[in-house]
Structure 1
Amino acid sequence: MGDFIDGTVRTYWTKEDLEACQTEMLTVRLATKQISYEDLKALVGKSQNLFLVDVRTKEEVANGRIPGSVHIPVDTVGTALEMNPEEFLAKYGVTKPPLDAPELVFYCRIGRRSEMATNKAHSLGYVLGYTNARNYAGAYKQWSEKEGK
């Protein structure tokens, strides 16, 4: 149901519509695979399979980052992952992760943008088997606190 006022359509949601929307949002949120600080710490600098993506802004990255991460701003993740391998290498200076990348992890400052990036990777096919794109929900905030930076 909606009204057309001053050239704008105003929509009114029923209680059932809102509940269905909230349930769907919760399902998406729970579906995002997570990685803990301890598990990520075990991979950083040790796993050749880790592809760690920092989705924060350039200004945030300038204040510190998790070692070995590649900076791909959240609003460009979809475009980056859809690039052909040569374009990706030229733009980011690293080999593009394959669709079956065993350790593809996204992080930001507090976990929201990286969750969006993880969901974008999932929608592009970066979910195969038990190894898939994951969100480091603890984010750079937790990493810097635990690492004393």
Structure 2
Amino acid sequence: MASTGKEISYSDLKSLRENNKDLLLVDVRSKDEVDRGRIPGSIHIPLEDVEKEFSLDAQAFQEKFDVPKPLLDTRDLVFHCQMGRRGGVATDKARNLGFKNAQNYTGGYKEWAEKEGK
């Protein structure tokens, strides 16, 4: 079902959320943006902190975000922003750190909110 491509759609994300309890959805928008609304279950790591936070060891990551740090080969790591651009940058950063299957939800929060009627 999941491709090894870097980008996923709204329907991909919906099915990942329903079928995968290990999915880690990372919102890379600013705190102000997140405070105005977020995709349920996402964790917030601003774009400028992605490299630092994903370089933490597993225990530090777990303590800081209250979720397990993903394994490098996980297919369950998805980034998103408001409209797709910053999510793409974050995905590239994660891939450069070795998370070779990291993906970007290109529709971002904007599309999610529209489709979910928020």
- Where in structure 1 are there 5+ consecutive unaligned residues? 1-31
Number of residues of Structure 1 aligned to a counterpart in Structure 2: 114
Distance 1:120 1:53 in 2: 13
Computing the radius of gyration over CA atoms, which structure comes out larger, 1 or 2? 1
Map of 1:62 onto structure 2: 35
Q: Does 1:48 align with 2:21?
A: yes
Query: Any idea what SS the aligned residue of 2:25 has?
Result: strand
1:46 deviates by: 3.4
Distance 1:65 1:120 in 2: 22
Structure 1 counterpart of 2:116, which letter?
E
Map of 1:133 onto structure 2: 102
Structure 1 counterpart of 2:113, which letter?
S
Residues 86-95 or 113-122, more deviating: 86-95
Q: Does 1:97 align with 2:97?
A: no
Structure 1 counterpart of 2:75, which letter?
P
Q: Is the 8 A contact 1:53 1:105 kept in 2?
A: yes
Matches within 5 A, 1:1-149: 33-127=6-100, 132-149=101-118
Q: Is the 8 A contact 1:45 1:67 kept in 2?
A: no
| Identity score, percent | 53
1:46-105: CA deviation from partner (whole Å, max 9, x where unpaired): 311311100011111111111111111110000111100111112112111111111210
Runs of 4+ residues over 4 Å off in structure 1 = none
Distance 2:31 2:18 in 1: 23
- Larger strand percent: 1
